[in-house]
Chain A
Amino acid sequence: MTTTTMKNQNQVALTRRQFVVSSALASGGLALGFHFPAAAQSNELSTLGGSEINAWVVVRPDDSCVIRIARAEMGQGTHTGLAQLVAEELECDWAKVSLQTFTPGQNLARKRVWRNMSTGGSRGIRESHEYVRQGGAAARIMLLQAAAAEWKVPVTELSVEKGVVTHAASGKATSYGKLASQASKLPAPDPKSIVLKHPKDWKILGKSPRRLDTAPKVNGSLKYGIDTVLPGMQYAAIKACPVFGGKLVSFDASKISSRRGIKAVVRVDDESVAVLADSFWRAKSALEVLPITWDFGPNGKESSATIAERLREGLTSTNNVFADIDQGNVAEAIQGAAKKIEAVYGTPFVSHACMEPMNCTARVTADRAEVWVPSQNAEASLAALAAVTGLPLEKCEAYNPPLGGGFGRRGGTQDYVRQAALIAKQFPGTPVKLIWTREEDMTHDYFRPIGQCRLVAGIDAKGDMVGLHLRVSGQSINAYVSPHNIIDGKDRRQLQGYWKDPGESQLGYTVPNLKVEYAMRNTHVPVGPWRGVNTNQNAIYLECFIDEVAKAAGKDPLTFRRNLIKNHPKHLGVLDAVADKGGWDKPLAPGMFRGIAQFMGYGSYTAAIAEVSIKGNDVKVHRVILATNCGHAVNPVQIASQIEGSVAYGMDSLQSESSVKDGRIVEKNFDTYPIARMYQMPKIESVIAPTYDFWGGVGEPTICVVAPAILNAIAAARGGKPVRMLPLKNEGLRLV
């Protein structure tokens, strides 16, 4: 179903080697397990019978090494990657590695020695790789120093491989397990003295050891947050006001309180009511028939139509709009162009739709508060818990089980933690497990922001684009969550992927006259980061429009892009890699059409080709080829897995929308909010083409090119007629 190739596309850096996904380490997976604190007895993190060399590494007498992992595992494989980073520098035996996670309380108690526990923004590896590698290197140095001291030889005469230390001159050998206790007493080396390995010397990094959690996920034995069970636990079902910004006025508990198993009906805050029962079914069923009076407020009049009207106004308004790029004279260039192309694109609100709905189990007493919650940032869960209970951080704890999907929903927004704690506060000592129904989850998301985009281009007689005017009119995430982060009223974040500056999310095209603008137009609907955030809609707007311009210029979409992209070698690199792998120059079977797209996000460069066929209104995506340059490839199979997942998530957003009527979200479940299904999934081929001169993200970059590549293929199949207003059903199309 999937093939992956690694490609070294940079002729300067290393030798021209093809890195092929190796199964050499596949059998030596993380055999020894996963130590996960379900309930810490104290703030002391166990050393599991070994010696803690430093915060990152514990070595046990049997030579096994326990590596501490700070970030959350939500299916992206960061745990394995982080362990590889440490193990590479540690020079231990990978077959003897196991992982240990810790709680935010334990991190705080040690003055945040493990630093950031947040998992998002595709930063799990790229933000921490240096200091975790240094942690592994420092532990190795201390272990070698212990051997040198024991044998009374210079440490420079020692060598180590797979945890075995040898002194060639004397023939002496020992292993980490025997050195651990002594090493743990030594001072840590000066970080400035540590030299990290060059990728050409990597033995563990760049390979793909098998993940530990695949089997338990497939056989159902993995325990997610929603599986938490505690003695004496009660279940809570909750309803927040369906209209955002509205208030809970009253409810009539008498109508349901005599139902079997119902323990209580409580006001949670000024907008929600919850039913507590001895089973979730009973709580949820009772809540469904509870009479509730809401005050919807003025937002009750909002709808997709009122929102669309506001966005449309922003497309041509002179109010509240700023230009992030304004070079040359776009108006003149387009005015004087041989041909002018204009389009308006639109993308809807999209929901995270995590397979595991929002949930949190809380237990609160007068002097202690704990939550068991699947979270992308255990420290955020802890902070939310402390804020809501009024207890100091030291009296609180958050336990973070594996997540059934995060995608940005479970990071900065900890609303379910606050709710569970507020309920549990009313029943001191009783563990309360709050679960959102699918309906509650789907209608109370922090949605991907809605937007429209007006693009105008001018091409000259030769078919070259001489001017491009792009304006996004849409909702701002920063304005909703953290408006003070918007500097000078210019929310650059909404123009992700269109930035001139290199490094994070740079526009890959050079246009002599270019204007890129953003008009902020907000709504009452909560918005937040959705995997890929603004690169998703921005890639659709630009990459689909570029195809329209290419068509008007009579040029092949790849050729047209190559001409625009020639000043950006890394953007060009992935474009070429995907064209090569996808066989762009080879003819397709009759009835098959292809589309191409490229974009940059989260420090990585990506491109995709999609091959589709259309029968009537049914669109079948047969094959998607993706290329990514993420700088360094820690675990190629994991990168390929992330790419595959991003194809599924990208396809979700083609076919669904969260629309608004009477101030509330309409789509409540997967019958009206379709997501990618197994039978819809195409054959996926990935090319990983690292250039080893930067560290880019992996979790998010490839998602943004999936939708535009498919949309461009659909347009090609329709003789060039583009799909401009998503989702597909607006054009009467559907994925099959």
Chain B
Amino acid sequence: MNLRRRLLWALGLGWGWGATPALFAQHVPQERLLQPYVGVNAVQKGRVKLEIARLADNGFNVPLKVSVASPMTAQDHVRRLLLLSNRNPRPLMAAFEFGPSSDQVSIATRVRLGGSQTVYALAQTSDGLWWLDSAEVEVTESACLDQT
């Protein structure tokens, strides 16, 4: 077997699968997704808890809940919370602003997911630090459509 074929073989799936560009939206890598908001700052996992079902039906109405552990004092509180999608045509789904008048940060809403993806909840605390939680959601209706 010649070298080229051996190489193609080693690639496992081979070049024949998934080579069509831009047929549907691709997933944005995490770093590129968060960069417009966090800039060069580090993002830590923690303090944020994102709750969303693992499977969603058609993606039009997916309930989610986000909470951020914080004493919510003038000195130590959550400034803002962003909900991001790594697949939707508009990555920023919602942004929430809080002040010390917020008692705790716990949001529930319903989002639109344009296909199976990872949803991110990104929070910035008053000290300027960024915190993250993420969850994968399989949108089952699109699982069939994705298959051209």
Contacts and interface: CB of A to CB of B under 8 A. Distances in A.
A602 B53 CA distance: 31
Given A393-B54, A393-B55, A485-B24, A380 B144 contact: yes
**Which 8 A/B pairs are nearest by Cβ-Cβ distance?**
A121-B147, A694-B16, A503-B19, A412-B144, A380-B140, A411-B144, A694-B14, A383-B55
A412 B55 contact: no
A487 interface: yes
B55 A482 contact: no
Nearest to B143: A118
B143 A380 contact: yes
Nearest to A14: B1
26 contacts: A108-B55, A112-B54, A120-B144, A121-B146, A121-B148, A379-B140, A380-B57, A386-B57, A393-B53, A393-B55, A408-B144, A412-B143, A413-B141, A481-B58, A481-B145, A482-B142, A482-B145, A485-B24, A499-B20, A501-B20, A502-B19, A503-B20, A504-B23, A504-B148, A631-B14, A693-B16
Contact of B145 (A123, A529, A602): A529
A414 B139 CA distance: 13
Interface of A is mostly: loop
Interface string A194-225: 00101000000000000000000000000000
B15 A503 contact: yes
B138 A412 contact: no
A386 B147 CA distance: 24
A108 B137 CA distance: 12
A603 interface: yes
Given A14-B1, A121-B144, A380-B143, 16 more contacts: A118-B143, A121-B146, A122-B147, A126-B17, A383-B53, A387-B57, A413-B141, A482-B141, A485-B114, A485-B115, A503-B18, A504-B18, A504-B19, A602-B148, A694-B16, A694-B17
B19 A198 contact: no
Contacts of B15: 502-503, 694
Contacts of B143: 116, 118, 120, 377, 379-380, 411-412
Contacts of B71: none
Interface string A474-490: 00011001101101000
Interface stretch (B5-13, B33-41, B123-131): B5-13
Contact of B8 (A481, A693, A696): A693
B138 to A, nearest CB: 7
B81 interface: no
A385 to B, nearest CB: 9
Interface string B25-37: 1000000000000
A376 B142 contact: no
A693 B15 CA distance: 8
Contacts, number: 156
A98 interface: no
Nearest to B8: A693
Interface in A98-143: 104, 108, 112, 116, 118, 120-123, 126-127, 130
Taking each of A123, A196, A380, A505, which has the highest tally of chain B beta carbons within 10 Å of its own beta carbon?
Answer: A380
Contact of B13 (A116, A481, A695): A695
B101 interface: no
Q: Which of A376, A413, A603 has the most CB of B within 10 A?
A: A603
A13 interface: yes
B114 A501 contact: no
B16 A12 contact: no
A487 B57 contact: no
Contacts of A328: none
Contacts of B56: 383, 387
Contacts of A291: none
A555 to B, nearest CB: 31
B140 A118 contact: yes
Interface of A: 12-14, 104, 108, 112, 116, 118, 120-123, 126-127, 130, 196, 198, 376-377, 379-380, 382-384, 386-387, 392-393, 408, 411-414, 477-478, 481-482, 484-485, 487, 492-493, 496, 499, 501-505, 529, 533, 602-603, 631, 693-696
A387 B61 contact: yes
Which of A477, A484, A693 has most B Cβ within 10 Å? A484
A487 B22 contact: yes
Contacts of B61: 387
Nearest to B114: A484
B53 A503 contact: no
Given A13-B5, A121-B148, A380-B141, A485 B25 contact: yes
B89 interface: yes
B57 A631 contact: no
A529 B144 contact: yes
A694 B148 CA distance: 18
B40 to A, nearest CB: 29
Interface in B41-61: 53-59, 61
Nearest to B10: A195
Given A482-B115, A485-B25, A505 B148 contact: yes
A333 B24 CA distance: 33
A109 to B, nearest CB: 10
Contacts of A487: 22, 24-25, 89
Nearest to A124: B147
Contacts of B141: 380, 412-414, 481-482
Contacts of A602: 148
Contacts of A493: 23-24, 148
Nearest to B59: A482
A383 B20 contact: no
B134 interface: no
